Amino acid sequence: MSLRLLAFAASLLLGGAALAQTDAPQSQVQVKDAWARATPGKAENGAAYLTIVSPAADRLTELSTPVAKKAELHNMITEGGIMKMRDLPALDLTPGEPATLKPGGIHIMLMGLNRPLAAGESFPLTLSFEKAGKREVTVAVEKVGASGPEDHSGAGMPMQPGH
């Protein structure tokens, strides 16, 4: 009788593992190259940028960080030759297609900074996805006027032919 109970328990464990694997792709949202520019003196606002790749259709719905009172998605648009910033309620993610948040386009506004962002520092940023749940990333603060994240790993270096 105990052998049957053991076999039943094993089948439950295996079945649970199989179910967990079917849910895995939704939780494997990749967030990379998270960076922000250092802010001058008494700036109250800053911006952060990153790239998101989701294996399944999903939606970025909320952002938060301890370095600012509010973090929101914003988009820069040109209307009548004038650049304007508009807030976005959410960002739809297409499966396998990178969503790159960058200067001059969609970005994360950090409003009500607790203190200036200093080059060389980093801070946590929590992204909330409709399906994949919450994901915390570390945002590297680059120098004022930076145009992208510094590549400290060498991964962005051009490779020699034949390598």
For the chain, domain boundaries: 29-142
**Sites in the chain below the pLDDT cut of 70:** 1-27, 151-163
Structure tokens at 57: 């259709």
| CATH superfamily ID and name for 29-142 | PCu(A)C copper chaperone (2.60.40.1890)
The pTM of this model reads: 0.74
Q: For residues 145 and 81, is the Cβ–Cβ distance under 8 A?
A: no
Number of H helices, E strands in the chain: 1, 10
| pLDDT score at 163 | 39
117-139 residue pLDDT tens: 999 999 999 999 999 999 999 99
